[in-house]
Homo-oligomer: A and B are copies of this chain.
């Protein structure tokens, strides 16, 4: 799957992923009204609105992008009905040929991680059947429990040719509280990064490993260091746009081959119509605003990478 992701990044010339993290107040009124008319002001109504909203954005952007990253929390907040919308979103993205990165940040002791891995990336044994549940292509994983919490994910990745992105340095303001804590002069995230590189060596694709890392765009100096520590690791980079990072902050997350990183934007794309910059589209044409925001984001990153290559 890492090979397919890279192929689709090359084909679209867009090292980006659209974060499908729909808050209900991002969804234009015409969609919410229709869903509430059908299902009432219920969890099912909210889930339907979110799904219809996603569908519009996917239709408007799928030819421009290699991948999407639905954030499961935004669906889980609507309970079982929300998770049905998550499932529908994944299936629809697959129909459209997109790689799906499930931003689930799961991680537990071995036997429990095995269940998460089966449910999200692999197959669950039911009698004589082996059945897929959520069936994402990649999942994000939390490393706090150490190797035996990660290994079951790697095992399933090997069986299914799928991948994971392990949290190394997250994009939020307080990520340093534990992740930056120094041990023998080195921050925890470097130890995690070294471990990600070691796990990754056990399952390589053509040029990059199936085992990737998450390093936030909001800490560009960390990105530069982690790029060197994990040269064969694909880096999923959250924090672009609404969280503050720009294309120029991102150049050191990439390798000289122009690959090695994929940059996420969520709110900046899916709620673009709410920004002054894209206000002319209006709520009725929210998906066209998202399309324009994708084009602008890709142009920003391309030009930053281009400028960096010239220097």
Contacts and interface: CB of A to CB of B under 8 A. Distances in A.
A184 to B, nearest CB: 8
A76 interface: yes
A42 B108 contact: no
A279 interface: no
A223 interface: no
Interface string A109-149: 11111011011100011111101011000000011111111
Interface in A75-109: 76-80, 82-84, 87, 105-109
Contacts of A84: 80
Interface size class of A (residues with CB under 8 A): 35 or more
Contacts of A78: 119, 124, 126, 133
Interface stretch (A172-180, A251-259, A296-304): A172-180
Given A46-B124, A79-B133, A146 B172 contact: yes
Given A45-B126, A76-B116, 13 more contacts: A21-B112, A41-B126, A77-B115, A77-B119, A77-B124, A83-B83, A105-B107, A109-B171, A144-B179, A145-B167, A146-B179, A149-B172, A181-B188
Interface of A: 21, 23-24, 32, 36, 41-43, 45-46, 71, 73-74, 76-80, 82-84, 87, 105-113, 115-116, 118-120, 124-129, 131, 133-134, 142-149, 167, 170-179, 181-183, 188, 191-192, 195, 238
